[in-house]
Amino acid sequence: MKLQEAQIIIEDQFLDIVIEIFKPSPEKLRLILKDKSFVDIRLSQNVKNRFDFHWERVHINNTIYRYDNFPDIKFKKIKTFPFHFHQKTEFKVVASPFSKNLPKALIDFMAFIRRELNKK
């Protein structure tokens, strides 16, 4: 998947929660959400299918959520390794609840964000 494809998915399915989309670097797409938090979608230019989706909410409630498949050996014992999910903090890392397949992984992650935003 390329960033252009990711942007099409966002524009097609998630404009109810996304208010702005821009590309701060060649491998990253940034989404500004309706609550003023942001999501960075990073797709590696060097390793095929390597990604991370990072939802930054530190300025709102001191939380982050990140789904990625960078093979960090600290998380080798996690059942879904190298896929893992940082849940609320950088340090609480759990098995991935999302698809391993791009672009479905992006859709799953964004649907998770939508559900969380709608709880508020």
| Domain spans, the chain | 3-119
3-state secondary structure of 64: strand
Report phi then psi at 70, rounded to 5.
-75, 125
**Using CA atoms, how far apart are residues 53 and 27, in angstroms rounded to an integer?**
12
What is the reported pLDDT for 45? 78
Supply the pLDDT for residue 72. Answer: 86
Q: Residue 105: which H helix or E strand, with range?
A: helix 104-119
Q: Please give the chain's pLDDT, 120 residues, in tens.
A: 899 999 999 999 999 999 999 999 988 999 999 999 999 999 987 887 889 999 999 999 999 999 999 888 888 899 999 999 999 999 999 999 999 999 999 999 999 999 999 986
Q: What is the pLDDT of residue 120?
A: 62
CB–CB of 64/55 below 8 Å? yes
Structure tokens at 120: 């508020």
CA angle 116, 23, 91 (to 5 degrees): 45
